[in-house]
Each structure stands twice: as structure tokens, then as C-alpha cells.
Amino acid sequence: MKFIPQAIPEIILIKPEVYNDKRGYFFETFRMDKFEKALGHKINFVQDNESQSSESVLRGLHFQIPPFAQSKLVRVIQGSVLDVVVDIRKGSPNFGKHVAIEMSDKNKYQCFIPRGFAHGFVVLSEKAILSYKVDNFYSPKHNRGISYNDIQLNINWRLPIEQIQISEQDLKQESLKNMPDYFNHKVNYYNDDK
């Protein structure tokens, strides 16, 4: 497994070591000792989620606020997506910047998304199935989002805007400039690990 910090270094791309032969393939999707060493702190994943989406579906940009802030470890089981992560920590030198990674069942990449970041993806294949671990439980009352087409974010979703399918809820998300100060880059959001 290779752990590769991205342009925003808290976001980590994980490239697995895949063993192929005539029978198929094998690879480790998660190994806590290596993972925590790469992160530099403990993590306690408490929930696994899976979503299936059709071509051109965009989900995001989502996050949960404290005390239910979540880190995510995302991977694509089937298909291909453009995965996008936005730094929403006020005062961060990377505030409002994003990282975009194409992840697929072919490259088997994973992306670690820390607390204090918004996450979204758009499906580039006929359909896609994503699996992700989170380190805090889902809480509808703490669920928030940012507009996927916020001019300040300037995200290239790689699809024509008229082709993108998005939920009514995601169409109503606020802009980054109107978002309250939910996160601060100087706060350690992992000091409550069990």
C-alpha cells in the first residue's frame, strides 16, 4: 500500500498493491497499522456505507458538523467516479481549495477524507458503486453541504452542466462564503478518539 498526500496534504490517496494471476486478484483494502502510521493519529471507523449511482449522478458536496464530524475512507467497487474533496476549515491556507481524483474499479484507488472537509463525486461510468468507512455515526441533524457549482470552488466536474443529475437537496446547498464557521484548521478534531 502506498499512501500519497495530495496538494492539500491532509487528503491522502491510497494505492493498493494488487496481486493478479489467472484466477483473479487479491489486495488489502484496509490495514489499520499502516493506515494509522500514514495518518499520524489513531482512527476508529464505526460505520461502513455503500451507495450505487447511475451515470452523470453527482452527490455532494457533503459533510457533518461537530460533534458528529466524520472522516471517510472512500473506494469504488464498480465503475468510475471523479471524487472531489474541499477544505472547509476556516483559516486554513487551503480553505476553499479542492482535490479531484478519478477512482475506479480498475485503479482500485482509495481516498482518505479528514474531518473538516466536504466530499462529493460524479459518476463517469454507466453506474458506480462506492464503499466508504466513516469514523462517526450518521446524524441527519448534523448533515450539511456546499453547492457543487459554487463559483468560488471552481470545480471541473468533467461533464456538461445539463448532463449532471443532482438531488433537490443538493441543488439547495449554500455557497462556501455563506457557510458558518463549523471548522477551524487549528483545532484537532481527533482528540476525542477512543
Q: Is residue 190 part of a domain?
A: no
How high is the pLDDT of residue 128? 98
Q: Is residue 192 part of a domain?
A: no
| Grid cell locating 104 | 475506479
Which residue range forms the structural domain that includes residue 75? 2-178
Active site annotation includes 98: no
Active site annotation includes 185: no
Q: Is residue 82 part of a domain?
A: yes
- The pTM of this model reads 0.92
| Catalytic residue from among 98, 109, 132, 148 | 132
In tens, the pLDDT along 93-102 reads 999 999 999 9
Q: Is residue 184 part of a domain?
A: no
Confidence class for position 25, pLDDT limits 50, 70, 90: confident
How high is the pLDDT of residue 150? 96
Question: CA-to-CA distance for 180 and 171, rounded, in angstroms?
Answer: 19
Q: Is residue 194 part of a domain?
A: no
> Rounded mean pLDDT of 73-99?
97
- Please enumerate, as own/partner, the contacts of 147-154 that have beta carbons within 8 Å and a separation of 24 or more: 147/61, 147/173, 147/174, 147/175, 147/176, 148/58, 148/60, 148/61, 148/120, 148/173, 150/175, 150/176, 151/175, 152/96, 152/176, 152/177, 153/61, 153/86, 153/96, 153/98
CATH number at residue 32: 2.60.120.10
Confidence class for position 184, pLDDT limits 50, 70, 90: confident
- In the chain, the N- to C-terminal Cα span, in Å, equals 25
| Catalytic residue from among 62, 182, 185, 190 | 62
Domain count, the chain: 1
Confidence class for position 54, pLDDT limits 50, 70, 90: very high
Backbone angles phi, psi at 32, to 5 degrees: -60, -40
> Rounded mean pLDDT of 137-147?
97
Confidence class for position 141, pLDDT limits 50, 70, 90: very high
How high is the pLDDT of residue 191? 61
